[in-house]
Structure 1
Amino acid sequence: MSRRERRPPRGRAVVAPPRAMTAEPGSAVSAPSHRAAPRAVPASFAQERVWFASRMAPDASAYRIVDELVVHAEVSEADLRRAFALLAQRHEALRTALRVADGRLTQYVLPRIGPVLRHVDLTGADDARRADARRSRREELARRPFDLERAPLWRVELLELGEAEWAVVFAAHHVVYDAASRFNLHAELTEICAAAEQGRAPDLPELPLSYTGYAQGERDRLSPRRRAELAAYWRARLAGIPPVHRLPLDRPRPAARTFAGDEVRAGLPPEVTATLPGTARRLGTEPVTLCLAAYVALLHRHSGQDDIVVGLPVTGRRQADVLPMIGTFVNMLVVRVDAGGAPSFAELAGRVREAVRVEEGRDIPFQTLVELLPAPRLPGVPPLYQLAFNHVPAGGGPGGCSSGTAGCEDDLLLEVTADTVRVEYNVALVERTTAETLLADYLALLAAGVRAADTRLPDLPAAPRAGAAPARHPAGTAVGGGPPTGTAKLVADAWCAVLGTAVTDVHDDFFHLGGHSVQALRMLARLAAEHGAEPSVQAFFADPTVAGLATELERRRPRRTAWR
């Protein structure tokens, strides 16, 4: 009997799988079970944000998270399958799919599900072949898309490396998984395997709150009164916000957003890691604030812009009840910093600290913020911010899970860890040499700022730029006339009802005219309810015009699904 087929010794306790979740003996992959009816619950705000964004991406690779965990335990393939079955039983997000119902994004939670796991035997391979196989499996899982309407939105490959050693490659969609989930999954899987090896029941944290309970609770907390208060604050705070940054781009901005990305990275210089904590203490702030201040200084220098807007991911796990949960909680905070007046680096850090402090206290779901603000929408431009910053502390952070793919949600993202700086850039807009220049300048600005915080921004040194800055290329829109066909008129009427404005050009972009994602769903639901047509949400996000939606309606026949 091979090791992966062996049975546990007599008297050894193993984790019992939930009913109807066991895999067929010897199967390579456990097929999902959808026999039981799912529960339909409104999606969380974090799920809405990720879902909307991923629908606009042709590949959505930026939202696939791939991770690898090495398990050193005397466990069998069956033990690992039972472990993931237990994880799926404990955490609703691992049994969840998402669909649009009546114009609202809804999570459908199955009472039980069969985890998708594949076994790969590498026990006879040498070290080089094992390394190649592990890399190729990570890359292959990163490329494979998920159908968000079918659970589970994760998959696992069990790579058997040798006696008591497994590499577990886990891939999930960000709509059900975030960086804190990564920590929780690692901790629980390690404990379950240790318990199986030692013949005892696993000691797992209690889950006082379900993910669906959390999702409902956050909607209850965003009462009409609270929503009005937040709307008033953010309208004032972001009044006159630049619709797009002025950081020079290497290529014209496409009319539609692209999500193809690449990255450059470098280690933090030892003198920075040594000096950063002390400078932060002296200034009464945190090291991450100085890292963000250096990024603001970088954007100010390269764009000539005083009004700097940056998107920051926040964990969304302030409640103790949600800390041990697997799911997605990350929200994006829009931070606006005034870099004008030639402040010192210390003064800029103070402005950054105050902006983050005040705005964290008025945290609002990003999709709701987009809905509430009358900010102009430009074709191909992410709303409210296009430049992002992330800090990954020791043990992971809100954006610390790498997708393992060439995806980029923003024009530019700068991420700082304990010892590394990474610049992720949209390849449709930025050349690699430009990203390398920005990275070099950031390291120079950060080093100089923490070494001499009283230095004014214009006097801080930076790496020399390679060549002249290219001019920013504005994106244009197509021109056309009014609705030429009956179907286009049908769409235009729904468009007018939702946006409150008449259609004068069938090629106008829905979002450019002030529409937001929630209104888009309402319009599509209106068409489905009144005209028996079920437009493709993905097709509309790809071409958000009356002409595009009319073409989609003419192409598709009305249909109903089992979920409705």
Structure 2
Amino acid sequence: MPKTPQERRALLLRRLAPARGAEPAREPEGAAQGPGTAVAREPEGRNSGDGSQAPATCAQQGLWFLDQFDPEQAPYALPLAFRLRGQLVLPALRRALDGLVARQASLRTTFVDDDGEPRQQIAPARPVPLVVEDVSAIPEEARETELRRRLAEEDRRVFDLADGPLFLVSLLRTAPQEHVLLLNVHHIVFDGWSLGVLVQELGEAYGAAVRGEKYRPTPPAMAYTDYAWWEQDWLDGDKCRAQYGYWRRNLEGLTALELPTDRPRPSSASTAGDSVRFRLSTRQRDDLVRMSAEERVTPFMLLLAVFQIVLARTTGQRDIAVGSPMANRSLPETQELVGYFVNSVVLRTDLSGAADFSEVLRRVREVALGAYENQNYPFSRLVAQLEPDRDPARSPLFQVLFVMQEESWEQDEWHGLSVELMGSPATTSMFDVGLSVSMSVHGVSGDIRYRTDLFDRSRMERLAEDFAHVVERVTRDAGADLTELLA
């Protein structure tokens, strides 16, 4: 295995890139034709059952290769903590977890090395090991401190992709009528959409078990391994070639964002991170919704425009590119699956010459719609093909992330049991800066995650203040002069 960062990057690019000069073949008659078209039949010799193997998707390949190069890094653990209030029926919870893992094969998947290439290995369904610990004797304040410590520890957990498991469960009894269910899963088998699927299925299965009923949901229309085979076919098709052409044209000449730092940028990137949280009021949320309707954009587009103005104001640059994850679940059959479907896209807006905020919004709208239409092209493959200038201290193509969720899931009820998602501490950051915003009826919450080797907390607090200020300014006047907003 190569040892230096340069050797590792070179090998990763060679692994992910298609053969030079190779043109995607035309799709055979009757094959899946692209996003929104289901796999009509399982190709001969392709088995998606227990004990079977399947190719890793492009997104999984990227994470697998990164793990091979630096297995001690832990930026891909996704700890989830749920506070359960009420009378918990432990046997019912065990049955629900067993049913979830039996139905969702991604949660029992590991990855084998097949001559230098990863393949998914699906294990047979077995009872889920559930570690139960009683911490109710600890004083409340110390108990909450211990919970935060454990969450931070889980955030840094290093998974073994070959031996697994990649899905871990523990239960803490914090009071007679209160528990904390702690799940941790590797990103290679899970994404943000998967959280909603997991909560819904766990709740339905738990309720059925408490009532003494058998939980018999309709089997998924396709398995994640079916999607991996479908992706292989799609990558050989004309739609794939067209999407690559779009990204190649739109990312030509892209340069890195030069955010002012509090310390010199090190020679290689660290993943040590922290976060700053902030809130916008219910009134500001209502103003955002109103303006989005008036300007014929989505709240995502409006807040992206605000963020790109803040970044332009901070860097002095006018060509602003940020990354954003797309659900990438165009096939309807994928929407009920737990799995790693999310794909990153680059949202590049040129603010040069724009007179006012309305003009910026129009440009952002065009950029976002183009990205939506071309969101299926695997980001790792795009990086390998475009071969941007590589800097081991920066992520390729974009260094800043923007994420938005509307009406994000926060609480539920499972047969009389109140379920609330607890916030997890941020101890890692894959990018220089990442802004995540969530809209609900109560307002807008924001979270800025950042690399602590580059930035002080005070700088990120100012960034949050700038964001809130620009939101307030533009929602009062869509015609706000851009020169004034950038000042």
TM range (shorter): 0.7 to 0.9
Distance 1:371 1:415 in 2: 27
1:411 aligns with 2:424: no
Matched ranges for 1:385-424 at <5 A: 385-396=398-409, 404-418=425-439, 419-424=444-449
| CA-CA distance at 1:166 after TM superposition | 3.5
Please list the CA deviations of residues 310-345 of structure 1 after superposition, one character each: whole Å capped at 9, or x if unmatched. Answer: 101111222221111111111101111111114311
1:177-256 → structure 2 map (5 Å cutoff): 177-202=190-215, 204-242=217-255, 244-256=256-268
Q: Tell me what 1:259 maps to.
A: 271
Amino acid at match of 1:294: V
For 1:85, give the aligned amino acid: D
Partner of 1:417, secondary structure, is: strand
Correspondence 1:349 to 2:370:
no
Question: In structure 2, which of residues 101, 121, 128 is the aligned counterpart of residue 88 of structure 1?
Answer: 101
Structure 1 residue 272 corresponds to structure 2 residue 272: no
Return closer, same or farther for 1:457/1:75 CA change in 2, 3 Å cut-off.
Answer: same
Corresponding residue number in structure 1 for 2:19: none
CA distance in 1, matches of 2:96, 2:219: 17
Q: Normalized against structure 2, the TM-score is what?
A: 0.80
Contact 2:79-2:182 at 8 Å conserved across structures: yes
After TM superposition, the structure 1 = structure 2 runs for residues 4-153 of structure 1, keeping only pairs within 5 Å, are 38-53=51-66, 59-71=72-84, 76-122=89-135, 127-128=140-141, 130-153=143-166
1:441 aligns with 2:466: yes
Structure 1 window deviating more from structure 2 (134-143 vs 417-426): it is 134-143
In structure 2, relative to structure 1, the CA distance for the partners of 1:299 and 1:405 (3 Å cut) is: closer
- Contact preservation (8 Å) 1:73, 1:193: no
Q: How many residues align?
A: 424
1:316 aligns to 2:328 (yes or no):
yes
Q: TM-score, normalised on structure 1?
A: 0.70
Match in the other structure for 2:37: none
- 1:341-373 CA distances to partner (integer Å, 9 max, x unpaired)? 143111111111110101221221101111221
CA distance in 1, matches of 2:290, 2:367: 22
CA contact (8 A) 1:116 1:154 kept: no
Please give the alpha-carbon distance, in whole angstroms, between the structure 2 residues aligned to 1:203 and 1:451. 52
Contact 1:386/1:411, CA 8 A, preserved across alignment: yes
For residue 425 of structure 1, what is the amino acid of its counterpart?
A: Y
User: Partner letter of residue 46 of structure 1?
Assistant: A
Taking a change above 3 Å as real, the CA distance of residues 57 and 420 of structure 1, as seen in their structure-2 partners, is farther
Deviation track 1:451-495 (CA, whole Å, cap 9, x = no partner) reads: 111012221277xxxxxxxxxxxxxxxxxxxxxxxxxxxxxxxxx
Does residue 476 of structure 2 align to residue 451 of structure 1? yes
What's the offset of the Cα at 1:57?
6.0
Q: Give the whole-Å Cα distance in 2 for the aligned partners of 1:439 and 1:427.
A: 16
Q: Secondary structure at the match of 2:391?
A: coil
Partner of 1:337: 349
* CA-CA distance at 1:269 after TM superposition: 3.6
* Cα distance in 1 for residues equivalent to 2:387 and 2:76: 27
Cα distance in structure 2, aligned partners of 1:257 and 1:182 = 29
Identity across the alignment (%): 31
For 1:198, the aligned partner's letter is R
Higher strand share: 2
C-alpha separation between the residues in 2 aligned to 1:425 and 1:298? 16
Contact 2:426 2:449 in 1 (8 A): no
Query: 1:428 maps to which residue?
Result: 453
- Within the candidate set 301, 309, 315, 2:313 is matched to 301
Is the 1:69–1:186 Cα contact (8 Å) retained in structure 2?
Answer: no
Superposed displacement of residue 188, structure 1: 1.4
- Partner of 1:61, secondary structure, is coil
3-state SS, counterpart of residue 275 of structure 2:
strand
Residue pair 2:110, 2:121 contacting (<8 A) in 1 also: yes
What's the secondary structure of 2:194's corresponding residue? Answer: helix
Task: Name the SS for the 2:189 alignment partner.
Answer: coil
Give the C-alpha shift of residue 414 in structure 1.
1.1
Moved more, 106-115 or 292-301: 106-115
Residue 370 of structure 1 pairs with residue 383 of structure 2:
yes
Q: Which has the larger radius of gyration?
A: 1
CA 54–290 in structure 1, closer or farther in 2 if over 3 Å, else same: farther
Q: How far did 1:119 drift?
A: 0.6
3-state SS of 1:175 partner: helix
Which residue in 2 is equivalent to 1:481?
none
User: How far 1:404 sits from its partner (Å)?
Assistant: 3.6
Matched residue type, 1:69: F
Structure number with greater CO (CA < 8 Å, separation at least 6) is 2
CA displacement, residues 485-533 of structure 1 (integer Å, 9 cap, x when unaligned): xxxxxxxxxxxxxxxxxxxxxxxxxxxxxxxxxxxxxxxxxxxxxxxxx
Q: Which amino acid aligns with 2:151?
A: R
Deviations for 1:365-409, whole angstroms, at most 9, x for unmatched residues?
Answer: 101111221322223221111111010221349xx9976441101
Give 1:49 deviation, angstroms.
3.5
The amino acid across from 1:67 in the alignment is L
SS in 1 for 2:478: coil
Q: In 1, are the aligned partners of 2:155 and 2:427 still within 8 Å (CA)? A: no
Distance 1:328 1:368, change over 3 A: same
| Closer, same or farther: CA 299–52 of 1 in aligned 2, 3 Å | farther
Instruction: Provide closer, same or farther for how the CA distance between residues 95 and 357 of structure 1 changes in structure 2, counting only shifts above 3 A.
Output: same
Q: 1:141 Cα shift?
A: 2.8
Q: CA deviation at 1:82?
A: 2.7
> Measured at CA, do residues 179 and 374 of structure 1 come closer, stay the same or move farther in structure 2, by a change above 3 Å?
closer
Conservation of the 8 A alpha-carbon contact between 1:231 and 1:373: no
Is contact 1:98-1:106 (8 Å) kept?
A: yes
Paired residues of 2:92 and 2:210 also in contact (CA < 8 A): no
Q: What pairs up with 1:464-475 in 2 under 5 angstroms?
A: none
Structure 1 pair 202/71, CA: closer, same or farther in 2 (3 Å)? farther
Distance 1:149 1:72 in 2: 36
Question: Counterpart of 2:355 in 1: which secondary structure?
Answer: coil
User: Are the equivalent residues in 2 in contact too, given 1:191–1:203 (CA < 8 A)?
Assistant: no
Question: Secondary structure, in 3 states, of the residue corresponding to 1:216?
Answer: helix
Deviations 1:399-455 (A, max 9, x none): x99764411011111111122122111112222222122111111112111111101
